[in-house]
Amino acid sequence: MKISRRDFIKIAAVAGASVALPLSLPRPRTVIDKGGVKFAAAASEPSKSKVVVSSCLICGQRCPFKIYVRKVGDEEVIEKIVYASDPSHDEFFAICGRPQTIFELRYLPERIPRPLKRVGPRGSGQFVEITWEEALDIIAKKIKELMDKGEVHRIVAVSHQGYEGSHVRDFFKNVIGTPNATQHCDTCHTGMDIGHKFIFGSPKGPSAFQPDYKNAKMIIVMGRNPVGGIVASAWTKMFTEGRANKAKLVVFDVRKSRLTAIADEYYIIPPATDLAISLAILNVILTEKLYNKDYLIKWTNAPMLFYADTLEPVKLADNPLMEGKKTYLVYDEATGEFKLKTEAKQPALEYEGTYNGRPVKTALLLLKDHVKDYTPEWAEKITGVPANTIRRIARELAEAAPKAFIDHGYKGARYYNEGMLKRVNMLINVLIGSVGSVGGVAYPAGKPKIKHPFDIIGIEKTKPTGLSIPDYWAQNGIENIIGKCWSQLLVKTIMTGKPYPIGLLFIHLENLVAHTVSGRKFLEALKDEKRVELIVVADTTFNETVMYADIVLPIPLFFEATTWSLQTAKKSYVSLVTTGIKAVDPPSGIDARPTWWILVELAKRLGKLPPNVEVDPLEVQRKQAEALGINFDELLEKGYVMLWTKPKYHPWGGEPLSTVTGELEIVNVALLEKYRGFVGKESPLNPFPIWIRPLWMRKGQLAPDEFIPVEYQDPLTSINMLIRFAKLSIDALEYKNLYGVLIHPSRAEKLGLRTGDLVRIKGAGGEIIAKVIVSEDVHPYIIAAPHATAIDEMVIPRTARIKTREGREITVKLFSKGGGYGINNNLLADPDEAVVPEEGYRAAQHDFVVRIEKITG
């Protein structure tokens, strides 16, 4: 059914004039039902259709899309989901295949029907249905109890996904007052963040950069797959455009993928040996002087002089050109004198001499010294990639620069040496002058600041108090913790009871058990009510974590409720404001409530919001739009408003960096000072690049039944999340012969394995049963599978049993649509081993060895 523009305007006007709904309990199942929704009824038709313009949230990018809904009797049926095309953003957006699972997501058998309370032992999967009133009262009572005892810090919130994931953390920190709220970045990109800190002065994650694929001449990709683990359609579009513009693509991976299929060159290497390739490229660039001299002098501290014996900067002085930043001594080639950089005409890059009777060297020479042994011949021995190939690639990269780069990647939580890898790759980009350049690694445009809903509705705030979990661990030997990224430290806290047992663990749309390196030790600890007194999990579907909950809160899927906050597109250089509008109700029988509503109800019970306050989510959005100077009606009509569309081309991203010098530092002044003791050590804290062996390599040679387990993102699966339960995802994987674990024929033969055999995969932390697929596509050292496609059946029950309020028994089975024979490394690894204490205790999800054993009979 087509809707004319006139119809549309009429309907939108009605939506805009809607009245606020009271929000006290009891309430009908449909919590919000208005706004941005366009109904159109043709007299001749018995059913009604509507088109909802909204944005997709599955992977967080918020791509503009339209959902067509038809009402047949009382049932709302989603007819189709299409990209919301518009000439103003078509250049940047599209939608990928994943929203096509939406039809099915609504009806997943794994959906949580109502609020639940655990009845059996924790972790046994036995629940009874309770009312929302009862559930919220139990949670509010626990919070009050901890507040009254002065133990508010024993409340921990974990949240990420969903429109309101960050509001949950804000609520627990700034309304309840616990210092403990975290999310999943330490299992995603923290290794990268810390690696970049050594160059930029502060942690920089994947979204801090926008590779200018479109204008690039050469792109090297290591451990990233923009056409498989599509971070966002916007990125893929630019990437494809770059390829169409004939950018040369060189890929390093541990398996063949869709990306290797379109690459000009690809190399399948042993896991976590990329660092050897990168160190060799750095070595060639430095020894052959292929770096960009002008760029290094202007934007980096490459000419900075250090005493060669103590590695201290020769001199630091206040920089008159940059407030709060230091300038430093250089050797001025124009005059043959030592001068401050701000006064020198031609700072020398490769100067070595004496100053004050002591030997001095430039930062660039120090760097060169430290990588002098990492020749391409050395890297060939580790990776199998021929030395002259590595040398040629390094030269080609420098030749194409600055329109050339090593992609900064996305994930940085797979291997122990990943922080160093990301650091070395970015150092190479700096040396060839590609950071901030056209065709290089540019910066995104920026993000609008959206007014917080708490401030709009007037929730009372407080200041967090008490010793936080990350502060405790920082005092106890863990380096570089990022304030909101310590889910692995939470695992450690639960296992050790330090610094205190947890009173309330509130988990919102994070699958803590599946996404952290957890293993059996953690699962046992989670069962102990003395270590965690109350576990509340809010999610859409049953998953590994829900099985451990004491209270379960069903949340609507993102297209089943209107959010109370404007949204911003996250992962591209395009700055886009979008909204999230309800398309359909949850199916009958599913009593899900939006997150914002839960927060409002808790705030009222805790005296943080007067009981008579009514919240209309669309009105909150409207006020946010007003504060931003955005026309809200236009936003509702189109589903988005575009703010900026150009990346930032500037080596520093526009402003001086937070390094001591304000410049890109190829030798980090502050971290050299802090980690001087690590010079020469095989450590992520070494201030200079160094070869760090992955953990798996330290065990010696792999036995015939030993492998490194590798997980990857397939276009139609997603991390741990609900769409792995969809039949469409499972079918797609089956069709591509990928639903199981891939093993190289040379290894399979020795173990007598054939495609279709079941094997037991044993790790230090647990066991999984998987289906074998024999394939040439993987490196012989690894087994590979899409992530989170299996559970440890020995420990986690696959079936939940629920007693309904009417006294019926229902069972909910995970992977009820089939499958479940892949891997989830986290359930195989040991949470004390597959982590990196030097990088905030972040995960090293793939960096361990498993044994496989054929299941016979």
Tell me if 812 contacts ligand MGD by CB under 6 A.
Answer: no
Tell me if 572 contacts ligand MGD by CB under 6 A.
Answer: no
Residue 594 in tokens: 């939006």
Q: Are 664 and 657 in contact (CB under 8 A)?
A: yes
Tell me if 190 contacts ligand MGD by CB under 6 A.
Answer: no
Tell me if 59 contacts Mo ion by CB under 5 A.
Answer: no
Q: Are 303 and 349 in contact (CB under 8 A)?
A: yes
The only residue of 11, 51, 59, 367 in contact with ligand SF4, by rule CB under 6 A = 59
797 φψ region: left (φ > 0), alpha (ψ -120 to 50), beta (else): beta
Question: Which residues does residue 474 pair with via DSSP β-bridges, in sequence order?
Answer: none
Judged by beta carbon, residue 174 or residue 541, the one nearer ligand MGD is 541
Q: Which stretch binds Mo ion (CB under 5 A): 66-74, 182-190, 419-427, 551-559?
A: 182-190
Please tell me the chain's helix, strand, coil percentages from 3-state DSSP, rounded to the nearest 5: 30, 20, 50
Q: How many CB atoms lie within 10 A of CB 737?
A: 12
Work out whether the CA dihedral 216, 221, 227, 233 comes out positive or negative. Answer: negative
The only residue of 12, 52, 58, 275 in contact with ligand SF4, by rule CB under 6 A = 58
Tell me if 216 contacts ligand SF4 by CB under 6 A.
Answer: no
Q: Of 722-751, which residues contact ligand MGD (CB under 6 A)?
A: 722
Tell me if 169 contacts ligand MGD by CB under 6 A.
Answer: no
The only residue of 201, 203, 228, 689 in contact with ligand MGD, by rule CB under 6 A = 228
Cα–Cα distance between 230 and 237 in angstroms, integer? 10
3-state DSSP call for residue 526? Answer: helix
Tell me if 167 contacts ligand MGD by CB under 6 A.
Answer: no
Residue 407 in tokens: 């992609």
Q: Which stretch binds ligand SF4 (CB under 6 A): 25-33, 56-64, 166-174, 692-700?
A: 56-64
Q: Find all residues with CB under 8 Å of 489, minimum gap 6, and list them.
A: 186, 469, 470, 473, 478, 481, 840, 841
Cα–Cα distance between 425 and 11 in angstroms, integer? 53
Which does residue 63 bind out of ligand MGD, Mo ion, ligand SF4, none, counting CB within 5 to 8 angstroms by kind? ligand SF4
Tell me if 825 contacts ligand MGD by CB under 6 A.
Answer: yes
- Closest residue by beta carbon to ligand MGD: 229
Q: How far is the CB of 83 from ligand SF4 (least distance, A)?
A: 8
Q: Of 232-251, which residues contact ligand SF4 (CB under 6 A)?
A: 232-233
Judged by beta carbon, residue 97 or residue 610, the one nearer ligand SF4 is 97
Q: Are 228 and 715 in contact (CB under 8 A)?
A: yes
The only residue of 37, 63, 669, 695 in contact with ligand SF4, by rule CB under 6 A = 63
Residue 120 in tokens: 């059996």
Q: How far is the CB of 188 from Mo ion (least distance, A)?
A: 3
* Burial of 644 from C-beta contacts in 10 A (0-12 / 13-18 / 19+): middle
The only residue of 179, 191, 205, 229 in contact with ligand MGD, by rule CB under 6 A = 229
Tell me if 411 contacts ligand SF4 by CB under 6 A.
Answer: no
Q: How far is the CB of 60 from ligand SF4 (least distance, A)?
A: 6
Give the binding-site size for ligand SF4 (rule: CB under 6 A): 13
Q: Of 244-303, which residues contact ligand MGD (CB under 6 A)?
A: 252-255, 257, 271-272, 274
Nearest CA to 607 out of 225, 291, 144 is that of 144
Helices 376-383 and 387-400: crossing angle in degrees, nearest 10, is: 120
3-state DSSP call for residue 253? Answer: strand
Judged by beta carbon, residue 232 or residue 690, the one nearer ligand SF4 is 232
Residue 284 in tokens: 């060639």
For ligand SF4, what does the binding mask look like between residues 299 and 338, x meaning CB under 6 A?
A: ----------------------------------------
Q: Are 122 and 535 in contact (CB under 8 A)?
A: yes
495, containing H or E segment? helix 487-496
Query: What is the DSSP secondary-structure string of 652-663?
Result: TTTS--SSSSSS
Tell me if 102 contacts ligand SF4 by CB under 6 A.
Answer: no
Cα–Cα distance between 197 and 457 in angstroms, integer? 38
Nearest CA to 143 out of 462, 491, 453, 506 is that of 506
Judged by beta carbon, residue 224 or residue 846, the one nearer ligand SF4 is 224
Q: Which stretch binds ligand SF4 (CB under 6 A): 57-65, 382-390, 418-426, 476-484?
A: 57-65
Which does residue 576 bind out of ligand MGD, Mo ion, ligand SF4, none, counting CB within 5 to 8 angstroms by kind? none
- Closest residue by beta carbon to Mo ion: 188
H/E/C letters for each residue in 432-455?
Answer: CCCECCCCCEEECCCCCCCCCHHH
326-332 and 337-340 strand pairing: antiparallel
Tell me if 58 contacts Mo ion by CB under 5 A.
Answer: no
Tell me if 552 contacts ligand SF4 by CB under 6 A.
Answer: no
What letter does residue 585 receive in the DSSP assignment?
P
Cα–Cα distance between 575 and 632 in angstroms, integer? 16
Tell me if 385 contacts ligand MGD by CB under 6 A.
Answer: no
Distances (CA, A) of 149 to 154, 171, 467: 10, 20, 15
Q: Find all residues with CB under 8 Å of 723, minimum gap 6, and list them.
A: 58, 98, 101, 105, 716, 717, 729
For ligand SF4, what does the binding mask look like between residues 415 and 454, x meaning CB under 6 A?
A: ----------------------------------------
Q: How far is the CB of 206 from Mo ion (least distance, A)?
A: 8
- Residue written as tokens 């030993």? 706
The only residue of 78, 188, 456, 618 in contact with Mo ion, by rule CB under 5 A = 188
Nearest CA to 383 out of 282, 287, 285, 279 is that of 279
Tell me if 844 contacts Mo ion by CB under 5 A.
Answer: no
What letter does residue 580 receive in the DSSP assignment?
-
Residue 507 in tokens: 């988990």
Q: Which stretch binds ligand SF4 (CB under 6 A): 93-101, 208-216, 355-363, 743-751?
A: 93-101
The verdict on whether omega for the bond into residue 26 sits within 30 degrees of 0, i.e. cis, is yes
Q: Which stretch binds ligand MGD (CB under 6 A): 298-306, 431-439, 520-528, 536-544?
A: 536-544
Cα–Cα distance between 805 and 796 in angstroms, integer? 26
Work out whether the CA dihedral 526, 529, 533, 537 comes out positive or negative. Answer: positive
The only residue of 38, 98, 189, 608 in contact with ligand SF4, by rule CB under 6 A = 98
Judged by beta carbon, residue 252 or residue 291, the one nearer ligand MGD is 252
Tell me if 845 contacts ligand MGD by CB under 6 A.
Answer: yes
Judged by beta carbon, residue 738 or residue 772, the one nearer ligand MGD is 738
Judged by beta carbon, residue 260 or residue 717, the one nearer ligand SF4 is 717
* Furthest-apart CA atoms within the chain: distance in Å: 96
Which does residue 250 bind out of Mo ion, ligand MGD, ligand SF4, none, counting CB within 5 to 8 angstroms by kind? none
Q: How far is the CB of 559 from ligand SF4 (least distance, A)?
A: 11
Residue 487 in tokens: 């889910």
What letter does residue 548 receive in the DSSP assignment?
G
For ligand MGD, what does the binding mask look like between residues 56 and 85, x meaning CB under 6 A?
A: -xxx--------------------------
66, containing H or E segment? strand 64-72
Tell me if 203 contacts ligand MGD by CB under 6 A.
Answer: no
Q: Which stretch binds ligand SF4 (CB under 6 A): 94-102, 168-176, 257-265, 443-451?
A: 94-102
Tell me if 99 contacts ligand MGD by CB under 6 A.
Answer: no
Q: How far is the CB of 308 from ligand SF4 (least distance, A)?
A: 50
Q: Are 513 and 766 in contact (CB under 8 A)?
A: no
- Give contact residues for ligand SF4 (rule: CB under 6 A): 56, 58-59, 61-63, 95-96, 98-99, 230, 232-233
**What residues line the site for ligand MGD (CB under 6 A)?**
57-59, 160-162, 184, 187-188, 222-225, 228-231, 252-255, 257, 271-272, 274, 410-411, 414, 509-511, 515, 539-541, 543, 557-558, 710-715, 717-722, 787, 824-826, 845-846
